Amino acid sequence: MEECIILAIETSCDETAAAIIRNGNEIVSNVVASQIESQKRFGGVVPEIASRHHVEQITIVIEEALQRANMEPSDLTAVAVTEGPGLVGALLIGINAAKAFAFAHGLPIIGVHHIAGHIYANALVQPMQFPLLALVVSGGHTELVLMKEHGSFEVIGETRDDAAGEAYDKVARVLNMPYPGGPHIDRMAHETNEAVEFPRAWLEDSYDFSFSGLKSAVINYKHNMDQRGEEIIPEQVAKGFQDSVVEVLTTKTVRAAREFQVKQVIAAGGVSANKGLRTSLEQAFEAENIPFTVPPLKLCTDNAAMIGAAAAYMYNAGVRGDLSMNGLPGKEL
What is the DSSP secondary-structure string of 281-292?
HHHHHHHHT--E
Indicate whether 186 belongs to the interface with ligand KG4 (CB under 6 A). yes
Long-range residue pairs from 99-107, CB within 8 A, at least 24 positions apart, any chain:
99/323, 99/325, 101/7, 101/62, 101/73, 102/78, 102/323, 103/323, 104/73, 105/73, 105/74, 105/76, 107/7, 107/73, 107/76, 107/77, 107/78, 107/79
Indicate whether 138 belongs to the interface with ligand KG4 (CB under 6 A). yes
Q: Which of 142, 249, 245 is nearest to 198 (CA)?
A: 245
Indicate whether 94 belongs to the interface with ligand KG4 (CB under 6 A). no
273, 304, 305, 328: which one contacts ligand KG4 (CB under 6 A)?
Answer: 273
Q: Which is nearer to ligand KG4, 111 or 182 (CB)?
A: 182
Is 182 labelled as part of a ligand binding site? yes
Residues 276-305 that bind Zn ion (CB under 5 A): 302
Q: Which of 104, 91, 83, 84 is nearest to 58 (CA)?
A: 91
Indicate whether 11 belongs to the interface with ligand KG4 (CB under 6 A). no
Indicate whether 16 belongs to the interface with ligand KG4 (CB under 6 A). no
Indicate whether 236 belongs to the interface with ligand KG4 (CB under 6 A). no
Q: How far is the CB of 205 from ligand KG4 (least distance, A)?
A: 27
Indicate whether 11 belongs to the interface with Zn ion (CB under 5 A). no
Indicate whether 269 belongs to the interface with ligand KG4 (CB under 6 A). yes
Choices 72-80, 143-151, 203-211, 265-273; region in contact with ligand KG4 by CB under 6 A: 265-273
**Backbone angles phi and psi of 57, in degrees to 5:** -90, -25
Instruction: Spell out the alpha helix ranges (H) of the chain.
Output: 36-40, 47-69, 88-105, 114-120, 164-174, 182-189, 212-227, 234-259, 275-288, 297-300, 305-316
84, 181, 234, 321: which one contacts ligand KG4 (CB under 6 A)?
Answer: 181
Q: Which is nearer to ligand KG4, 101 or 235 (CB)?
A: 235
Indicate whether 139 belongs to the interface with ligand KG4 (CB under 6 A). yes
Indicate whether 140 belongs to the interface with ligand KG4 (CB under 6 A). yes
Question: Which stretches of the chain bind Zn ion, using CB under 5 A?
Answer: 138, 302
